[in-house]
Structure 1
Amino acid sequence: MRFVIDTGSGMSVVSEETARRMNIRAVARGGLARAVGGGGKFEIVYGFLSQLDIGDVEVDNVPVYIRHFFDDGNPTDGYIGIAALTKFVATVDYGARTFSLARQRSSNQQPAAPGPNVIEIPLRTTASGFLSSDVQIEGLTKPLNFIIDTGATVSVVSKALVARSDLERFAHGTRMRVYGARTFSLARQRSSNQQPAAPGPNVIEIPLRTTASGFLSSDVQIEGLTKPLNFIIDTGATVSVVSKALVARSDLERFAHGTRMRVYGAAGIEDDVKLLMLPRFTLGTLVREHLPAAVLDLDPVNETAGFDQSGIVGGNFLRFYRVTIDFQRALMRLEPLGANAPPADTSNGTGTVPSEP
């Protein structure tokens, strides 16, 4: 089966046609996900894969979105998102056209058995990276999904739950002020005492941040702009992207190429998309000159990102490198391919930007 490795998607995705062929049934539906293209949103239909084999690697219990795919010219069965890859060090070699997974190094010690007073509670991870578990509230018959949040000083129930379950009868009469999160911090996962192998002499290591919605983001520089910008790293996008908001506030129209293109996004097809030719684009210490970039509305993505994303680093930049993503260390390694870089694949005036939370 043909799947795209997509670091621009938190969730894995299976096409409706593939789901029918493989008898993958919808297990739930409801709500809207935000994405690039079309109207910026699409209906959520959940499926579940008990097992996903990627080469010799087996990934168990993979939740997926079941979606209609709009790009008939490039038949694809699905996209493998970040959530399915976080236990591995993932390498995309654009030159050799290979993808490899190595398990994160861990200690050989087994976790200690819990003490007699310790309660173990199963957790689920949401598409946007939250930890969730079942709770019960007296007076309600069904269990509820609640986020486990060690950073919150007070527990919370949603307004929707209060409305549909008549929880107003438990109102206390007191009002309070709540400070919501506008920023977040990351702590590195614990690893074994073994140090990771030193990168080769030509390998550039670039720090990554994870947005609230699960995207991988890093700093880039565009010639003519003084401040660094947050761009999503998206191996599933064939073309790089700058947001309409960035173009408007930074007068990037002066780099307009005159060419228009069609973009296939997770939320639909967008025609007549402007194309810029960025004179100089820098990621880490790596520079590409005359980089084409589509101009798209990233507001739907930024609604849940947690910090503003001004664009997407896509395949027309990444294809010049062997890309290794170390999720545990929050690092991306880029090794130049030189003459082995594959040719550009967007000459037909179309691009794919499947980014979604």
Structure 2
Amino acid sequence: MTLAYDIALMGMTGVTAQTQFTRFDERWDVSMLLNDIRVQRYSSWLNGAGGPIDEQWIAVKRNWINFLSATSTRPDATLAPTPNATHSDNEQPSGREHDIERFHHDRRVRAAIQVAIFNAFDREERLAERWPQQARLILNRAGCSTATQPFRTLRATADLGKRRRYQAVWASLVCFLVFAHGNQDMLDEMGLVLAEHTEDEVIDILAAIDTGIQSELDAAVRVLCVNMITDHAPTASKNPLFWWLTVLVRSAIEPLQEMDYISRGRFLMNILSMDLDLCGRLEAIQHYAKVLVLDKALDLWRPYSDDWALQVNRDLDAANLDWLDEGKDQPLFDEDDPRTCDSSAWRSMLENLNRWALAYLSTRKDIDTVLGEVGKLLSTEGC
């Protein structure tokens, strides 16, 4: 890197740089990994997963800084140079005018996607709160057969900081993906080649941003996230979520002095929190995958009759969510919940949920999904 680049980077990464998590008391003394044994195991997993090779990893780090700078409140063209993309107009604006225009666009896209992630995931967690504990236990057992506690959401007011940190793991992927998609050759040099349907989903997100209709953008972001989760036999070179998983792991096992601003280092308005260690980031991926799979399973349920559908939906709507609207603490599971789930309709629904939860969340060797890989990493001693 040039001296000008180093100087520009210092200006964005000083101790006074505010991040998106400053208001949540972000800490800077959290280690991504706690012992060498885990480093060895994660390194072994990474070799088998097929993440970015060294040359691609250099591109990931460079492009991540490019993304952070371009979408920050103080973008710098030295860190975020003009991409090698042709301009749609016959006459391109001058260099400075073009930089102002593209940085404004990049900031707007990032902000819109982040809001969409917050909206979509908050909504999905609210819907998850309607489900009885029998269903939520199935979710947790899909990823860990010995689980004894039902799945709990992060919708309590006290969990806001953790919720936004978890959501940021997903938002950073989607924002970075869309940013890289708009910059010629950036995805390819980082080892990611999008399938046609994934590219269409990215284009749908950009189209929804242009419409300014928030509900369309929320839906487009949700579709991308769900399809990354439900992709069977994924590869790190084609599934963005799997690729992002390898990036997070590779970053975590890098030397402590390596400031890549993915796992270590303070960067102005960084979209990722530096005080969520690798286990926390893996849990964030798994947590919202469970939330999305729960809603997906309801969509995939084919009840025997309309009466079955009415019964299940009536029971879901009967859940008391007043605590959410009133900003109160999350209540404990009610052991006296009248929804015993022993009717034919509920047995069918729970069997359906178990089928799809296992299909998308299980670590079983015969089931190949991104969340299966996440589960394997979380089973490593120390997580």
The structure richer in strand per residue is 1
The structure richer in helix per residue is 2
Q: TM-score range by the shorter chain?
A: under 0.3
Higher relative contact order at CA 8 Å, sep ≥6: structure 1 or structure 2? 2
User: TM-score under structure 2 normalisation?
Assistant: 0.24
